[in-house]
């Protein structure tokens, strides 16, 4: 059947079906209207827009494309678009929205491209055309506000779990413990677990601290992204005493100051609020952190607040003023905890970089640099908790689920207390010599704390400086001639020590390495030195020796525990260089720490002297030394390096995620670099029995011209002194520098004193001149005062000498005691001048060992003669009062003090330089002039004075030492010697301090 298409209009159909024409027309109108409305609705749904856009829709667009830069924290362009209020407020000097006028509104202009700059920037994700049109129609419709507050978050109702994780805890009383969970705080009896009271909170409890009077509990909690809450709860009843609201996100930490006047709270919103306890109102809002505030702590004095943040810093704040005192930026990860020491002199911090750090507190009421004293890798994962246990120990807990103890003075390990079964949320010291560790699951562990023992750590070659335990019948060495075969334990030559062997490395078969083995017997604790010497003119041997036990295995010398990891930056190092060791995270390193890299062990001697420099390692100049018999080698850029310490015999390794390196009795090249490629090895027998010394060529070569002499002898600690600059011509009012350099033998490491005998009246000298323990060089000065113009040897000047004795130190006083002298300006000029005959000063060198004193009278003398010279002269004066000549300075380890140098140019042109990193002459090891800049310490023309700063590293030991300055101008004149007194913590007097802001 054929279908016939009906082509007549639909309204005619309505007429044929007996609908009146007017009805048809009216129905058509309404159907068309409905069709148009349906089409419009469908179009709106496709575009995601409502007929009248709401602010909630606009906010979604602004949050997606704009709020990353224009928020309350960054406010790029002084504009925030995170809320209706801030959007309508616009910029401080410009409105960006005019309701009803989109074309006049700056917001619409920049997002549509009608005005510059086009936003978002071209390299950012662009706003769609539909979204731009949405914003245009919102402004056109009047830019109405939100229907409900943007901060009212719809939180779905979730059925509570049967049990909650413990998220915070504190010891409210010796028998009561407070536990924080999601939405509540419970106080329970420690013994019976009886619930004493319960308090509800908003959101998860993140922090619990007891008030200093132990009558109240400070609770930190809040709802993520909504608000933070601090509650002060009565400990005895559980009643709410105070509620503090002010954060826009959850509070992670809250604590009351020891004096009870302040509550500090830190939040995920990156703010710290200081609340006045008495008024309940915010006193200060501390901003500056760029991450969440995870922990905070008050100093015992309530004057300083420390805050630990996700921005990898700890900041110190002055509580009364809210002023920031310092930012401790050395950490390499988020900081999770911060604690002040009980005496308030140090602050400790730890976090995601697995390290515990200790800083000395110097800034109490004004900004200062607070030096880091120690840093150590403590755990194999993030450190979550730190708590003091008495004054000598600090406990740490980590994500690796261990609890460990550390000595507060050095951050050395005092042992591991426990291996937990879950993540720790709190460490709670109790008064019964126990430490409570609370786990996330609610388990509370009671850990007993024993008094830490003392671990003695040896210091490499210094072990030989004690009395030898080797028993010998004489000092003569038995001579042997090497004979083959001797390359196995069965054929090894037997030596009776002490002995020397003449030998040659020559393989019996071509292309086969020759090894010479010698057997000897040693008693436990006996000390021997094995050294290989060659005639460089006839022998090509590059020797390497090692000690084996009776089974032919290498003998363990010691173990080196890695404390911090690093690597070489900027460039590598050859096998000789002792300067410019650029290391990653060098700020965590301290002087005299051992540095291990690929088997070589060196020791840090001097800090980097600016951004374009690195560490100097021992001895500070020339070829570098190595320790524990290790051999100097080349290191590549990026090669791993570790700060290490020696583990005592039987001491367990530290489980900090870093390796322990075994070190054996072996050596390739002399560690002190005196014998070139020849070997030198000190050996202390760990047990009584037979041992082997194995000798070979380090490259595996051999032949007729590989001869050697092997010596095995008892160590004889001694020293030799070389004097330079000992002939001095100087005018009145100037000084001259002289130097001594010690060659230490067989492990001698003790201080060496050089005493001056026969110093003429009128001269001030560094006396005694002391070469510090482990150092090689000391610098002294002899300074001629006006009284030196009088010859003490002649009776002609006896009356003048009597006057001079009242001005300068007499021969009966301590030689060189500069502090007994009058100001140089007060010394009257004498009529005569010194004769041309020089005065000779004898030098006596002494070194005190445990069992004897070594005394050497040096062949060289100091010969001084007065001359008439026109040269730069200098004087050190008090930094605050230039009319007061300086005689001494007081300083503490880790502190900086200041002084001033004044020069008389006497016609000298140009800048007057005093040197660079060596400008502080003869300062104690670890003390240095700190403001040298790139050009060193200098006085530019035409100035005649300069302030300078002296800093003492934390490792500088208390004591007294003379130093001076020296010009690099013609004559190299020096100042008179000045005493630098390094004070112990118990000493309080300081004669010079940093100015405000330094």
Task: Please check whether residue 208 is in contact with residue 201, taking contact to mean a CB–CB distance below 8 angstroms.
Answer: no
What's the pLDDT at 28?
Answer: 43
Q: What is the mean pLDDT of residues 616-644?
A: 95
Q: What residues does 742 pair with on adjacent strands?
A: 721
Q: What is the mean pLDDT of residues 290-313?
A: 97
What's the pLDDT at 162?
Answer: 67
What's the pLDDT at 869?
Answer: 84
Tokens encoding 620: 């500070």
pLDDT per residue over 576-598, tens digit each? 999 999 999 998 899 999 999 99
d(CA 16, CA 9): 11
pLDDT per residue over 504-551, tens digit each? 999 988 778 999 999 999 999 999 999 999 998 899 999 999 999 999
- Give percent of the chain with pLDDT exceeding 90: 65
d(CA 673, CA 655): 35
Task: Please check whether residue 238 is in contact with residue 197, taking contact to mean a CB–CB distance below 8 angstroms.
Answer: yes
Residue 40 pLDDT > 60: no
- CA distances, 440 to each of 169, 177, 182, 355, 423 (Å): 10, 15, 12, 22, 6
CA-nearest of 214, 215, 219 to 232 is 219
Is pLDDT larger for residue 175 or for residue 618? 618
Q: How confident is the model at residue 335 (pLDDT cuts 50, 70, 90)?
A: very high
Residue 202 pLDDT > 70: yes
In this prediction the pTM is 0.72
Q: What residues does 228 pair with on adjacent strands?
A: 222
In sequence order, what DSSP letters do the residues of 975-987 get, joined into one string?
PPPEEEEE--TT-
* Residue whose token pair is 């013609």: 970
Q: What is the mean pLDDT of residues 800-815?
A: 35
d(CA 794, CA 800): 11
Three-state SS at 801: helix
What's the pLDDT at 156?
Answer: 64
Q: How confident is the model at residue 154 (pLDDT cuts 50, 70, 90)?
A: low
Q: How confident is the model at residue 698 (pLDDT cuts 50, 70, 90)?
A: very high
* Max avg pLDDT among 13-17, 842-846, 865-869: 842-846
Tokens encoding 428: 């709670």
Backbone angles phi, psi at 39, to 5 degrees: -65, -40
Three-state SS at 55: helix
Q: What is the mean pLDDT of residues 233-253?
A: 95
In this structure, is the dihedral angle defined by the CA atoms of residues 139, 145, 151 and 153, taken in order, positive or negative? negative
Q: What is the mean pLDDT of residues 940-946?
A: 93
Lowest-pLDDT choice from 135-144, 178-187, 728-737, 748-757? 135-144
Q: What is the mean pLDDT of residues 988-992?
A: 42
* Residue whose token pair is 């010969």: 863
Q: What is the mean pLDDT of residues 162-176?
A: 88
Residue 461 pLDDT > 60: no
Backbone angles phi, psi at 746, to 5 degrees: 55, 40
Backbone angles phi, psi at 135, to 5 degrees: -65, -40
What's the pLDDT at 160?
Answer: 64
Task: Please check whether residue 335 is in contact with residue 329, taking contact to mean a CB–CB distance below 8 angstroms.
Answer: no
Q: Which distant-in-sequence residues (6+ apart) come within 8 Å of 130 by Cβ?
A: 47, 48, 49
Q: Which distant-in-sequence residues (6+ apart) come within 8 Å of 618 by Cβ?
A: 578, 602, 603, 604, 605, 624, 625, 774
pLDDT per residue over 474-507, tens digit each? 457 899 999 999 999 999 999 999 999 999 999 9
Task: Please check whether residue 456 is in contact with residue 468, taking contact to mean a CB–CB distance below 8 angstroms.
Answer: no
- Give percent of the chain with pLDDT exceeding 70: 84
d(CA 678, CA 541): 8
CA-nearest of 399, 436, 391 to 417 is 436
Is pLDDT larger for residue 621 or for residue 19? 621
């Amino acid at each position: 059947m054929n279908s016939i298409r009906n082509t007549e209009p639909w309204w005619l159909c309505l007429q044929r079906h007996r609908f009146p024409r007017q009805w048809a027309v009216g129905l058509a109108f309404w159907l068309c209207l409905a069709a148009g409305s349906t089409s419009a609705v469908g179009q709106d749904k496709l575009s995601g827009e409502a007929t009248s856009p709401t602010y909630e829709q606009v906010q979604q667009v602004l949050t997606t494309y704009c709020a990353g830069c224009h928020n309350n924290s960054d406010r790029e362009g002084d504009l925030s678009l995170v809320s209706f209020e801030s959007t309508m407020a616009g910029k401080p000097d410009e409105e960006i929205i005019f309701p009803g006028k989109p074309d006049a509104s700056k917001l619409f202009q920049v997002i549509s491209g009608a005005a510059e700059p086009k936003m978002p920037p071209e390299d950012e994700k662009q706003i769609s055309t539909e979204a731009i049109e949405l914003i245009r129609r919102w402004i056109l419709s009047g830019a109405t506000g939100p229907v409900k507050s943007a901060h009212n978050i719809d939180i779905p109702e979730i059925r509570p779990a049967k049990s909650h994780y413990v998220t915070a805890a504190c010891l409210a009383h010796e028998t009561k413990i407070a536990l924080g969970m999601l939405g509540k705080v419970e106080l329970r009896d420690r013994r019976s677990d009886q619930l004493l009271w319960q308090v509800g909170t908003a959101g998860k409890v993140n922090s619990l601290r007891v008030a200093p009077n132990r009558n109240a509990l400070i609770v930190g909690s809040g709802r993520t992204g909504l608000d933070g809450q601090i509650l002060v709860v009565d400990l005895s009843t559980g009643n709410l005493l105070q509620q503090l609201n002010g954060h826009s996100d959850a509070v992670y930490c809250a604590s009351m100051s020891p004096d009870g006047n302040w509550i500090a709270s830190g939040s995920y919103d990156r703010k710290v609020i200081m609340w006045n306890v008495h008024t309940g109102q915010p006193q200060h809002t501390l901003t500056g952190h760029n991450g969440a505030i995870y922990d905070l702590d008050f100093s015992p004095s309530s004057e300083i607040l420390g805050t630990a943040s996700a921005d990898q810093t700890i900041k110190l704040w002055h509580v009364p003023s809210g002023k920031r005192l310092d930012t401790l930026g050395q950490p390499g990860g988020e900081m999770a905890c911060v604690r002040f020491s009980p005496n308030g002199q140090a602050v400790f911090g730890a976090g995601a970089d697995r390290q515990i750090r200790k800083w000395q507190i110097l800034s109490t009421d004004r900004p200062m640099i607070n030096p880091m004293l120690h840093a150590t890798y403590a755990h194999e994962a993030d450190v979550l908790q730190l708590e003091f246990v008495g004054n000598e120990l600090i406990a740490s807990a980590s994500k690796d689920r261990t609890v460990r103890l550390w000595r507060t003075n050095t951050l050395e390990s005092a042992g591991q207390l426990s291996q937990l079964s879950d993540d720790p949320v709190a460490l709670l010291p109790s008064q019964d010599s126990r430490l409570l560790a609370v786990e996330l699951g609610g388990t509370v562990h009671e850990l007993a704390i024993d008094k830490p023992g003392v671990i003695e750590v040896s210091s490499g070659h210094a072990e030989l400086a004690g009395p030898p335990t080797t028993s010998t019948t004489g000092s003569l060495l038995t001579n042997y001639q090497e004979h083959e075969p001797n390359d196995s334990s069965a054929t090894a030559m037997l030596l009776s020590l002490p002995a020397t062997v003449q030998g040659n490395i020559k393989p019996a078969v071509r292309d086969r390495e020759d090894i010479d083995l010698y057997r000897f017997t040693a008693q436990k604790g006996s000390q021997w030195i094995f050294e290989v010497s060659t005639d460089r003119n006839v022998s090509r041997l590059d020797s390497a020796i090692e000690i084996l036990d009776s089974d032919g295995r290498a003998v363990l010398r010691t173990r080196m525990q890695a404390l911090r990891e690093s690597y070489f930056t900027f460039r590598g190092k050859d096998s000789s260089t002792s300067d410019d060791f650029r290391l990653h995270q060098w700020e965590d390193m301290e002087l005299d720490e051992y540095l291990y890299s690929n088997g070589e062990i060196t020791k840090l001697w001097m800090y980097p002297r600016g951004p374009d420099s690195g560490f100097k390692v021992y001895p500070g100049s020339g070829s570098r030394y190595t320790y524990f018999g290790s051999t100097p080698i080349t290191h590549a850029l990026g090669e791993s390096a570790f700060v290490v310490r020696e583990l005592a015999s039987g001491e367990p390794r530290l489980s900090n995620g870093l390796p322990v390196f075994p070190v054996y009795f072996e050596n390739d090249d002399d560690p002190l670099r005196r014998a070139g490629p020849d070997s030198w090895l000190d050996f202390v027998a760990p047990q009584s029995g037979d041992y082997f010394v194995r000798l070979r060529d380090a490259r595996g070569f051999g032949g007729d011209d590989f001869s050697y002499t092997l010596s095995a002898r008892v160590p004889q600690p001694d020293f030799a002194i070389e004097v330079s600059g000992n002939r001095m011509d100087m005018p009145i009012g100037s000084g001259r520098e002289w130097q001594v350099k010690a060659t230490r033998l067989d492990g001698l490491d003790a201080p060496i004193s050089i005493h001056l005998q026969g110093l003429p009246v009128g001269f001030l000298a560094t006396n005694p001149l002391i070469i510090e323990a482990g150092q090689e060089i000391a610098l002294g000065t002899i300074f001629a005062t006006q009284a030196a113009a009088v010859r003490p040897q002649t009776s002609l000047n006896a009356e003048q000498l009597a006057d001079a004795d009242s001005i300068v130190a007499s021969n009966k006083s301590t030689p060189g005691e500069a502090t007994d002298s009058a100001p140089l300006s007060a010394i009257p000029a004498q009529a005569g001048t010194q004769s041309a005959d020089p005065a000779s000063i004898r030098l006596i060198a002494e070194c005190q060992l445990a069992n004897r004193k070594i005394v050497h009278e040096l062949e060289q003398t100091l010969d001084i003669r007065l001359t008439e010279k026109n040269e730069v002269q200098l004087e050190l004066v008090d930094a605050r009062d230039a009319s007061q000549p300086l005689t001494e300075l007081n300083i503490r380890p880790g502190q900086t003090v200041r002084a001033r140098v004044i020069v008389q140019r006497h016609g000298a042109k140009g800048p007057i330089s005093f040197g660079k990193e060596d400008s502080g002459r003869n300062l104690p090891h670890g003390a240095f002039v700190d403001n040298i800049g790139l050009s060193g310490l200098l006085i530019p023309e035409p100035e005649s004075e300069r302030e300078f700063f002296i800093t003492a590293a934390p490792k500088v030991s208390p004591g007294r030492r003379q130093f001076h300055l020296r010009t690099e101008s013609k004559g190299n004149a020096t100042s008179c010697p000045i005493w630098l007194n390094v004070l112990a913590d118990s000493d309080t007097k300081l004669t010079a301090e940093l100015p405000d802001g330094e």
